[in-house]
Structure 1
Amino acid sequence: MSEASNFIWYELMTPDPAGAARFYGPVVGWTIASEGEPTAGGVDYRMIGRSDGGNAGGVLALGADMIAGGARPMWIGYLHVADVDAAVAAIVADGGSVQMPAMDIPVGRIAMVADPQGAVFYVMDPKPPEGMEGMESDVFSVTEAQHMRWNELATSDSDAAIAFYRKHFGWGQEGEMSMGPLGAYRFIQRGDVGLGAVMPLMEGYPVPVWNFYAGVDDIDRAREAVAANGGTITSEPMEIPGGEYAMNAIDPQGAAIGFVGPRRK
């Protein structure tokens, strides 16, 4: 592997994109398009806009057939790969599974897979817009509000998961924080950039899953907005290394999401 993979896109799968817009607007500051993009198969796909003009990801509207097939409200991340088909074959060979076979879409080639423990994500070889060849996605940022700032894997086997992502995506693992009897919160890196962490499955997590933390300008303002706009707070803001605060919530449609940012008061 020549270069470690990065998270290049985030997608909210939800049965109610308009409801999601009414929640994430006040909480994070995002604008979710009122209409879907033209897509293959007539799928309702809407962009999530940041106030700086960039995109934070997309919203996939879950139709009745998708829900009947087992789809549920959730956030899912996209990892960059140079060759989707080769990546899928290698993942399957190491005990992972295919959730959606590789397919071409107007912006590249994608497949949905699960790691050997069952956490789901996309792999993607993107087709950059004309004139933007060689530019790297900015949807993930370790510091900026309205970007995803932290990627957290809750898994049934931290050692195996770390080895899997190291092998297939080139990530490192240095440093950890004790969670007491729950085990270790182990930090993962892409080069010298902190991507997030791997942690043991806790009560309330029925299956291994990637959780994502959106950057907010003020954690207390965001907390109030979550409560005022139909969200459910699952963990109150707590101080994290570096002096900022993180919290967890479930949006009104049922997707888990985290938030991270400073305390302004």
Structure 2
Amino acid sequence: MAERTAYPDGAPCWAQLLTRDAAAAQRFYGELLGWDCRDQGGWSMCHVEGKPVAAITPDPEAADPAAWTVYLSTSDLTASMAKVEAAGGKILEGPFESYALATDPAGARFALYQPDSFIGAGVQAEPGAMSWAEVNAPDGAAADAFYTTLFPYVPQRVEGGIDYTVYKAGGEAVCGRLQMDEHWVGVPPHWMVYFDVADLDAAAAKVTELGGEVPVPPFDTPHGRIAVVHHAGGGGFFSLRQPWG
């Protein structure tokens, strides 16, 4: 497994689902991704082969559909919160112990997390675990300006038919930024989380079997096959990825 023991500043290190129906979400992700969801006293930590990968938290006032929140690692929570507001974003909640909830200037929500004894996901880029995250923004240049002020990202433009930038931190590609085009009309700015699977076609079929939807069917990219899926009964939009090889 691709185990993690640390994350550079700006790297997505955790993902949390706030949902009105946590029991339904646990069943859905358990069957789809093989998660073992363990109660932590009001919320569940989800594991793959004994390693924590994500959280499912019940919230009677959660949005419908529910939304995944991506946590970005920081070595100084207080300083990062100040940078969010100085760059035009907002702190919505916190700080609470080691994290705070924020939005960028366009309204995309994310969390800041300063690791303590818990670093976040113990494994990445393995079946059932988070492998990537990206912010989908209406103004790519504005998003780049905000996030490179917040974190020591080195942005790298991806050539091709879409406006996409990869953010590098600590010498590795950690997340990305996609500029939303006419295909995204009506969709608010947001962070998208990706979970890896061994067989994307089988996983997409499983989503439908479990009562979910696959609004963007599997398609090929240079980094693997990807599909965007939605589970209306307890989970929001997210992506599944099958790496090449």
Which bracket does the TM-score occupy, shorter chain normalised?
0.7 to 0.9
Q: How many percent identity over aligned positions? A: 24
| Alpha-carbon distance in 1 for matches of 2:166, 2:35 | 28
Is 1:48 matched up with 2:46? yes
| Equivalent in the alignment of 1:197 | 176
Counterpart code for 2:14: W
Is 1:76 matched up with 2:55? no
| Equivalent in the alignment of 2:15 | 10
| Alpha-carbon distance in 2 for matches of 1:205, 1:123 | 27
Counterpart code for 2:47: G
Which 5+ residue runs of structure 1 have no aligned equivalent? 39-43, 130-135
**Which one is further off, 160-169 or 110-119?**
160-169
Q: 1:184 aligns with which of 163, 167, 170?
A: 163
The answer (yes or no) to whether the contact 2:52–2:123 under 8 Å persists in 1 is: no
| Equivalent in the alignment of 1:85 | 78
Q: How many residues align?
A: 235
Greater relative contact order (CA < 8 Å, ≥ 6 in sequence) = 2
Which 5+ residue runs of structure 2 have no aligned equivalent? 1-7
Q: CA deviation at 1:236?
A: 0.6
| Equivalent in the alignment of 1:37 | 40
The answer (yes or no) to whether the contact 2:17–2:235 under 8 Å persists in 1 is: no
Q: CA deviation at 1:210?
A: 0.3
| Alpha-carbon distance in 1 for matches of 2:172, 2:186 | 27
Task: Note closer, same or farther for the CA distance 1:227–1:204 as it changes in structure 2 (3 Å cut).
Answer: farther
| Equivalent in the alignment of 2:242 | 261
Task: Note closer, same or farther for the CA distance 1:209–1:227 as it changes in structure 2 (3 Å cut).
Answer: same
Task: Note closer, same or farther for the CA distance 1:175–1:93 as it changes in structure 2 (3 Å cut).
Answer: closer
User: Under a length normalisation based on structure 1, what TM-score does the superposition of the two structures give?
Assistant: 0.81
Alignment of 1:1-265 (within 5 A): 4-33=9-38, 36-38=39-41, 44-50=42-48, 52-63=49-60, 66-67=61-62, 73-104=66-97, 109-128=98-117, 137-139=120-122, 141=124, 143-179=125-161, 183-201=162-180, 202-204=183-185, 206-242=187-223, 244-252=224-232, 253-262=234-243
Q: CA deviation at 1:146?
A: 1.7
Moved over 6 A (4+): none
